């Protein structure tokens, strides 16, 4: 019982960190572009997270239970490692995906216990993690290119439509994050009403109190994008995360979004190609996964 | 300042209203151009009063600029549009500022200089006719800028843009012909008159260039909103 409570508490803390850190990904553009006020943006994010967690969170049950033997001790260790890795990455200003660290840790612990996780699932995760940034770049490249070509008839109607689409895309991104990353945490801790309730509280706390810095940072980068690019980037990456959720695969929202932003940028005729985002995606992939795997195996 | 509601933000009402409000500049510029034409074609005794009314309109333009700059920087405007909006306000105000320069120049030449050098108006007269022609084209360009600020259809906005470009080219040709003529007749005028004509023609050309710059900025703002 004590270990269960520790796991629930750590799950709650990780939920706070995930919610606060990833809110910028979903609603940062809305707030940065002054389409909605900060409070409205946070509310959209919170509702998206919670509905995603409750409606689709269960889809990650198979991945969570197959990757790690169900023991509250190991679950607590996996969550603790992810929290420490997140804090270290924040201090060292290193790019990190919490989803990837958590999955890496879980696999590392399993290997340490001599229990090789199911091969098909592992293969699917690797394929999805490698393919999703590439697909994300391709999707946003082609969609943005077609949007740029189109000639709007009425400026204000088009601008209004794009803004509504951006609100929808922000909600959908929050929804998929709630379903995927938070759903994975929920099922790792064992699911149930108590865990869900604690996570809902964590979502609210994280979104309100731990999102400001990330929103400012990511929002400032994203608001310089045109509305159509922001819509395409958000919808493209959220669609991929939703597809991963349907397949029951944990997938990093921030990584697919970074790739999507790169794809949108490449679609413009006149572009200054900055290779930093490409390197950041690879860096995040390697650092997050292997830190998790290494620490999980070590512990 | 009152914060706009979610609906107003989503409907881009802030940006739309701001651009419509900016039509005060083309209106002001057109009325100032009319005064300038009156100054060049009218009576000498009216010059001072007309110069005063241009001065008042220039002040009015400056006050609008202060108000609109505050609206852009403090309002619910997408930060990516702020720079272009501020440049646009600046360009539109520049047209009126240049008009005030022209007004003072016309007043100085015709009120303070010509009375002592009566026959010089026979030299400046043909040039003033061309300036009036250039200003009429400038008024047309300003009406197109107003159309761009208040229209919602991208096709008609592009048509206005093309029209402004054609006007700008025509005014550029007129400027060249005025300068050619000035150099051809340089022996008939002293340095003061030569300088008066060349500075006037450059300023009127700059006014039309400002219209073209403003049109380009408006198009860029619309493209940022829709693409």
A92: containing domain = 2-298
Q: Please, which residues have CB within 8 angstroms of residue A62's CB and are 6 or more apart in sequence?
A: A121, A248
pLDDT level of residue A118 (50, 70, 90 thresholds): confident
Q: Is there a contact between A151 and B78 if contact means CB atoms under 8 Å apart?
A: no
Structural contact between residues A293 and A108, judged by C-beta atoms closer than 8 angstroms: yes
* The predicted structure's pLDDT at residue B127: 93
Using CA atoms, how far residue B199 sits from A241, B29, B42, B191, B203, in Å, is: 64, 19, 21, 12, 6
Q: How much of chain B, in percent, has pLDDT values that exceed 90?
A: 69
Q: Is there a contact between A227 and B12 if contact means CB atoms under 8 Å apart?
A: no
Task: Kindly write down the DSSP assignment for every residue of A159-192, as one continuous string.
Answer: HHHHHHHHHHHHHHHHHHHIIIIIHHHHHHHT-S
Write down the residue that tokens 């794009």 correspond to. Answer: A162
A193-215 pLDDT, tens digit each: 999 999 999 999 999 998 876 65
A179-190 pLDDT, tens digit each: 999 999 999 999
Structural contact between residues B138 and B204, judged by C-beta atoms closer than 8 angstroms: yes
Q: Give the tokens for residue B120.
A: 């010089």
Residue of B nearest to A35 (CA): B9
Of B83-92, B120-129, B143-152, B192-201, give the lowest mean pLDDT range.
B120-129
d(CA B107, CA B213): 28
B74 touches chain A (CB under 8 A): no
Q: Give the tokens for residue A34.
A: 């002054």
Please list every residue in chain B whose beta carbon sits closer than 8 Å to the beta carbon of residue A227: 224-227
Q: Is there a contact between A34 and B80 if contact means CB atoms under 8 Å apart?
A: no
Mean pLDDT computed over A267-289? 69
Verdict on whether the full-model pTM lies above 0.95: no
Structural contact between residues B98 and B210, judged by C-beta atoms closer than 8 angstroms: yes
Determine the distance in angstroms separating the CA of B152 from the nearest CA of chain A, rounded to an integer: 5
At residue A154, what are phi and psi to the nearest 5 degrees? -120, 120
**Number of domains chain A is built from:** 1
Alpha helices in chain B (DSSP H): 6-10, 13-21, 24-41, 47-74, 79-107, 121-150, 154-184, 191-226
ipTM beyond cut 0.85: no
**Type and span of the H or E element at B113:** none
Please list every residue in chain B whose beta carbon sits closer than 8 Å to the beta carbon of residue A36: 6, 9
Q: Give the tokens for residue A136.
A: 């994300």
Residue of B nearest to A36 (CA): B6
Mean pLDDT computed over A61-77? 89
d(CA B181, CA B186): 8
At residue B76, what are phi and psi to the nearest 5 degrees? -85, 65
d(CA B147, CA B169): 20
Q: Is there a contact between A154 and B16 if contact means CB atoms under 8 Å apart?
A: no
* The predicted structure's pLDDT at residue A25: 83
For the cut 80, the answer to whether the pLDDT of residue A117 exceeds it is no
Strand partners, A154: B153
Please list every residue in chain A whose beta carbon sits closer than 8 Å to the beta carbon of residue B152: 154-157
* Window 151-170 of B, Cβ < 8 Å to A: 152-155, 157
- Hey, what domains does chain B have and what are their CATH numbers? 7-226 (1.20.58.220)
Determine the distance in angstroms separating the CA of A270 from the nearest CA of chain B, rounded to an integer: 14
Please list every residue in chain A whose beta carbon sits closer than 8 Å to the beta carbon of residue B225: 155, 158-159, 162, 227
3 state DSSP class of A225: coil
Please list every residue in chain A whose beta carbon sits closer than 8 Å to the beta carbon of residue B6: 36-37, 40
Q: How much of chain B, in percent, has pLDDT values that exceed 70?
A: 92
A39 touches chain B (CB under 8 A): no
d(CA A259, CA A135): 9
* The predicted structure's pLDDT at residue A30: 85
3 state DSSP class of B153: strand
Task: Output the CA torsion A86→A87→A92→A97 (10° steps).
Answer: 10
């Amino acid at each position: 019982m004590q270990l269960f409570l520790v796991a629930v508490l750590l799950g709650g803390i990780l939920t706070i960190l995930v919610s606060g850190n990833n809110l910028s990904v979903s609603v940062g553009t809305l707030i940065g572009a002054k389409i909605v006020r900060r409070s409205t943006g946070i509310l959209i994010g919170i509702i998206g997270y919670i509905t995603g967690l409750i409606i689709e969170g269960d889809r990650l049950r198979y991945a969570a239970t197959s990757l790690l033997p169900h023991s509250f001790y190991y679950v607590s260790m996996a969550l603790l490692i992810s929290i420490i890795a997140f804090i270290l990455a924040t201090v060292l200003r290193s790019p990190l995906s919490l989803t990837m660290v958590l999955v890496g840790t879980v696999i590392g612990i399993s290997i340490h216990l001599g229990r090789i996780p199911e091969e098909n699932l592992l293969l699917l995760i690797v394929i999805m993690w490698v393919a999703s940034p590439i697909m994300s770049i391709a999707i946003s490249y082609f969609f943005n290119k077609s949007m740029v070509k189109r000639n709007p008839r009425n400026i204000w109607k088009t601008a209004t439509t794009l803004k509504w689409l951006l609100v929808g895309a922000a909600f959908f991104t929050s929804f998929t994050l709630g379903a995927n990353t938070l759903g994975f945490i929920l099922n790792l801790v064992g699911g149930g009403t108590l865990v869900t309730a604690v996570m809902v509280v964590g979502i609210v706390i994280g979104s309100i109190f731990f999102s400001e810095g990330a929103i400012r940072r990511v929002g400032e980068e994203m608001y310089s994008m045109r509305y159509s690019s922001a819509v395409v980037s958000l919808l493209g990456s959220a669609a991929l995360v939703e597809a991963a959720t349907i397949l029951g695969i944990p997938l990093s929202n921030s990584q697919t979004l970074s790739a999507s932003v790169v794809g949108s940028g490449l679609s413009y005729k006149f572009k200054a190609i900055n290779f930093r985002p490409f390197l950041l995606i690879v860096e995040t992939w390697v650092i997050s996964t292997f830190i998790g795997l290494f620490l999980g195996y070590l512990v | 300042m009152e914060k706009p509601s979610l609906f107003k933000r989503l409907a881009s009402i802030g940006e739309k209203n701001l651009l419509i409000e900016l039509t005060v500049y083309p209106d002001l510029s057109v009325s100032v151009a009319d005064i300038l034409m009156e100054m060049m074609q009218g009576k000498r005794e009216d010059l001072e009063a007309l110069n005063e009314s241009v001065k008042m309109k220039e002040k009015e333009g400056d006050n609008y600029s202060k108000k609109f700059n505050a609206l852009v920087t403090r309002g619910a405007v997408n930060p990516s549009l702020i720079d272009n909006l501020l440049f646009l306000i600046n360009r539109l105000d520049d047209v009126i500022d240049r008009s005030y320069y022209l007004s003072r120049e016309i007043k100085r030449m015709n009120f303070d200089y010509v009375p002592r050098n009566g026959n010089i108006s026979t030299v400046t007269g043909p040039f003033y006719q061309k300036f009036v022609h250039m200003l009429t084209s400038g008024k047309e360009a300003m009406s197109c800028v107003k159309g761009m600020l208040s229209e919602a259809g991208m096709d008609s906005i592009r048509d206005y843009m093309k029209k402004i470009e054609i006007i700008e080219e025509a005014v550029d040709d007129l400027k060249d012909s005025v300068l050619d003529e000035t150099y051809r007749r340089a022996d008939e005028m002293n340095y003061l008159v030569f300088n008066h004509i060349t500075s006037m023609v450059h300023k009127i050309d700059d006014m039309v260039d400002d219209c073209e710059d403003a049109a380009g900025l408006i198009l860029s703002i619309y493209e940022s909103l829709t693409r």
